[in-house]
Every structure is written in structure tokens, then in C-alpha cells.
Structure 1
Amino acid sequence: MPSFDIVSEINMEEVRNATENASRELTTRFDFRNVEASFEYKEKTVLMTAEAEFQLQQMESMFRGACAKRGVDTASIDVKPMDQHGKICRQTIAFKEGIEQPVAKKIVKLIKDAKMKVQTAIQGEELRITGKKRDDLQSVMQLVKEANLGQPFQFKNFRD
């Protein structure tokens, strides 16, 4: 029986490249001259530091642009609240990877409500979709792509 997996993965190497690109852009920007501001990639997160909150907002927009250029879906970006230590403001950007249980249940409910003739199974941080016809599986892919669930999904291991 045909099947495929729904996963949510991010290429962290591209995130590191986007961080370096944003850092390079930061050094060339006129509005960031003589300003203490930086991007730092740390274990699947990016730490932004600047002197003011509005600068962090500009840096976030620069980082999103760099991610888009590198092919990283910006829907997976999770910006944490800003914290201030004296004169320096910091903000952490994390990335949504894997499909969490509530989101997986939403996808299963979405598929069941569409009354498609497929079986869904939650397997850790991914979903396995199995059906008799390839067309049914392709319509499930289309349904998941169109549903705005707050994170990007990829489809892997398509088997006939």
C-alpha cells in the first residue's frame, strides 16, 4: 500500500549560513555604525544582541530575509521574548522542529474531517499516512500544505 511521512525539519547548516550572512549585512549597514550589535549561532538557536529594542526588531527582519534567501522557511522561526541586561538587550530565536503532539492531532483531525480514505499514525515527531490510492495521498499532501498550522511540513518516504 502506498504511504508517506509528514515531517517538520530544518537544515541547521543553512541557518548557520543565514546567521553569518546577517552578521555580514549588519557590519555594512549605516544605521548600525558604532553600535554594539551581533548575531551568534548557538546549538540550534540564534542569539541577537543590541543596544535598543528597535534595533533588535530591525535585526530580526534582517535575519528573516537572510533565512528566506538561504531557503529556510521563516514560518519555523520562534522568536522568544526580549530580556535586558543593563545597557544590552538580548533576544533568542529558536526553530520549530518535529511535529508536537497537539499539532499532530490537529493534522489527524483535519484529515478525518475531510473524509479521506487513508490511515494516519503518529510516530514520535512525524506522521505516517497510508492509503490504497496514490491520488488519496496526494490530496492529503495538498490539504496539509493549504492548512495554516504555524509551521512548515515536508513529505518524505513516498512509497508505492
Structure 2
Amino acid sequence: MSKENSFDIVSKVDMQEILNAVNQATREIENRFDFKGSKSSISFEGNPEITLVSDDDFKLRNVIDILEGKMVKRGINLKALRYGKVEPAASNTVKQVITLVQGIEQDIAKKIVKRIKDSKVKVQASVQGDQVRVSGKNRDDLQSAINVIKEMDLNIPVEFTNYRTF
């Protein structure tokens, strides 16, 4: 009787931590002297987008720095952020939309599966929706597969969850 072990490779961010980081950054912007009288703001309504508005590019960059600092302190991987282009907005302001990465895109998932198969580790990898399932008989092989994935230069944050033994 052989046991099958498996784990999932996922890419997700904790929306509550994002909300907390946005609230902390907003409070800091309201209290900082260099933002007095500024139209700088951060809005996040729980959808996978954060909207930044500021007076000019320089202040927008400062808002981004504040937000990124708060996210790092809350354990959010900055690879989960996709920055849109800076656009002019109402009342002589500029706006930028940051999209949050949730799930592994199909092309990246296929690269992960191909890389695992090319590594000759005795595991099976399969794409399941927006995650990748890796299974094998030997736990050491699963650890080797995790190390192979960690060595890859992915532009998304990956987590290894659902480690199961059957």
C-alpha cells in the first residue's frame, strides 16, 4: 500500500492585510507635514484594485513608497502588485491603479509544470484552475520540487499550501 503525498502551489494575498496596510498608509498621509493641503488619497474597496490619486508624479511616488512600506511590514509580497500607468485625473491630479495578483495565470502555471517535469524529480504536477497540484510518493521528492520552484524567477508570489499525506 503506497501513500500519496501532495501540496498546492498558489498565489494569493490576504485582502484583510491589504485593507489594513491601505488604512495605515492613508492615516500616515493625512498626518504628514509634506502632504498638508494635498489631494493625495488611496482607495481600496475590496476589489482587486487599489487606486492612488495625488497632486503630481513626485507626490504619487511618495504615496506608493508609503503604501509599499506598510505592505512589507504586514507581510505582503510586493510581487503581488501590478502597476498601471500614471494618468491625468480631475482637478489637476494624477491617478494610478494597482492591480492585485490573485491566482496563478495559465501560462505561468504551465511553466511551473514544465520546469518540475524537466527537473526529473519523481513527482507529478498538474494545473488545477488557478493553482498547481504537485503529488508524489516520497516526501523528499516533494521538498525537491519546492526547491526547484523557489529557484524559478517568477513575477508572482507563490505559497506552498495544503501539504497532505494519504
Counterpart residue type for residue 133 of structure 1: N
Counterpart residue type for residue 12 of structure 1: M
1:54 is matched with: 58
Counterpart residue type for residue 55 of structure 2: E
Counterpart residue type for residue 124 of structure 2: Q
SS in 1 for 2:44: strand
Distance in 1 (alpha carbons) for counterparts of 2:161 and 2:131: 10
Distance in 2 (alpha carbons) for counterparts of 1:2 and 1:108: 17
* Structure 2 unpaired stretches of 5+: none
Displacement of 1:98 in angstroms is 0.3
* Structure 1 unpaired stretches of 5+: none
SS in 2 for 1:71: coil
SS in 1 for 2:110: helix
Distance in 2 (alpha carbons) for counterparts of 1:37 and 1:61: 13
Q: Percent identity?
A: 38
TM-score by length of 1: 0.95
Counterpart residue type for residue 23 of structure 2: E
- Structure 1's consecutive aligned runs of 4 or more residues displaced over 6 angstroms after TM superposition are none
1:17 is matched with: 20
TM-score by length of 2: 0.92
Alignment of 1:107-122 (within 5 A): 107-122=112-127
Query: Of the candidates 126, 129, 132, which is equivalent to residue 127 of structure 1?
Result: 132
**Matched-pair contact (CA < 8 Å) for 2:48–2:101:** no
2:35 is matched with: 32
Distance in 2 (alpha carbons) for counterparts of 1:6 and 1:134: 16
> Are 1:158 and 2:163 an aligned pair?
yes
SS in 1 for 2:104: coil
